[in-house]
Structure 1
Amino acid sequence: MWHQDEIHLSARPRGFHLVTHELVEALPGLEACEMGLVHLQLLHTSASLTLNENSDPDVRHDMDAFMRRLVPEGLDYFRHTLEGPDDMPAHVMASLLGTQLTLAVRDGRLALGTWQGIWLGEHREYGGSRRVIMTLNGRDSA
């Protein structure tokens, strides 16, 4: 079986946001997939997808604080500055963390660890809504 859909995530403030439930709810055919893979591709270059802690929101806060320190705004060697001081750092963070995830599917669910969740990293102050293409491939349980 193959399914593909595009989801629009609502605009969020800068930081890391748990979006697992939102993505799972929008993925057609997941419940019928006995075994397979789902590929998530974020269609933007100033945000990211990553898999990390799904329980304690302090982890998302701390990751944002770390990334802002790792790639601060206002570095004098950045040339790409026309879209604002947060844009080039956002591109760097998106490249460091990535814009794609491939996850296992088992028995109609994402095969995630107990404390794992999918995060959207919003690296712009006003990034706007974000689009994700979700592609599911696997063996149908029917």
Structure 2
Amino acid sequence: MRQTTTELVIATPGQGLHEITRQITRWVSAQGMNTGLLTVFCRHTSASLCIQENAAPEVRDDVVRWLGRMAPESTAYAHDDEGPDDMPAHLKSILTGVSLSIPVMGGRPALGTWQGIYLCEHRRAPHRRSIALHLLGD
């Protein structure tokens, strides 16, 4: 059994679901492990992760709009240190989560045909987000 880690830095252009499947799959493949468990962890409180359909771009748009309804910008929040999209970003991160566990089979993440791994940027402004990867396997 081996384990390895790395960190990806992803530049986001602003709010939205940004697919990072290719970067993650490339790194997993380069580790030379056939089977294992991949943990993907977002090191932020105003961004998150999800696995979602990667075929129809409308899905991403619908998810962003739904999250906006669940945690709208409002002057009712006490926490607004970084602007009106700050507290809603924290709430959206709670809804979607910051960690994923993905089996590795055949040297690749065992995603379904239409599944992609997304960094969910909940802030309007561009950011640089750190994603920690941990692979345990052989």
> Structure 1 length as normaliser, TM-score?
0.91
- Following TM superposition, by how much is the alpha carbon of 1:29 offset from its aligned partner in structure 2, in angstroms? 4.1
Partner of 1:70: 70
Match of 1:47 in 2: 47
Q: Is the 8 A contact 2:12 2:18 kept in 1?
A: no
Conserved 8 A contact 1:53-1:117: yes
The count of residues paired between Structure 1 and Structure 2 equals 137
Partner of 2:106: 107
For residues 71-130 of structure 1, give each alpha carbon's deviation from its aligned partner in whole angstroms, at most 9, with x where no partner exists: 100151x10012100000000000110001010000111101111110111000115110
Give the aligned partner of residue 9 of structure 2. 8
Cα distance in 1 for residues equivalent to 2:11 and 2:63: 21
Amino acid across the alignment from 1:46? S
Q: Which residue of 2 aligns with 1:92?
A: 91
User: Under a length normalisation based on structure 2, what TM-score does the superposition of the two structures give?
Assistant: 0.94
Q: Which runs of 4+ in 1 moved over 6 A?
A: none
1:126 equivalent to 2:125? Answer yes
Partner in structure 2 of residue 56 of structure 1: 56
Residue 28 of structure 1 deviates from its aligned partner by 6.7
TM-superposed CA distance for 1:11, in Å, is: 2.5
Q: 2:82 aligns to what?
A: 83
Q: Secondary structure at the match of 1:104?
A: strand
For 2:4, give the aligned amino acid.
H
CA distance in 1, matches of 2:34, 2:107: 6
Q: Is the CA contact 2:11–2:126 (under 8 Å) kept in the aligned structure 1?
A: no
Q: Is there any run of 5+ residues in structure 2 with no aligned partner, and where? A: none
Quote how far apart the aligned CAs of 1:34 are: 1.4
Structure 2 CA distance for aligned equivalents of residues 27 and 106 of structure 1: 10
Which residue does the alignment assign to 1:33?
A: 33
- State the secondary structure of the residue aligned to 2:12: coil
Contact 1:12 1:129 (C-alpha < 8 Å) held by counterparts: no
Unaligned runs of 5+ in 1: none
> Counterpart of 1:44 in structure 2: which amino acid?
H
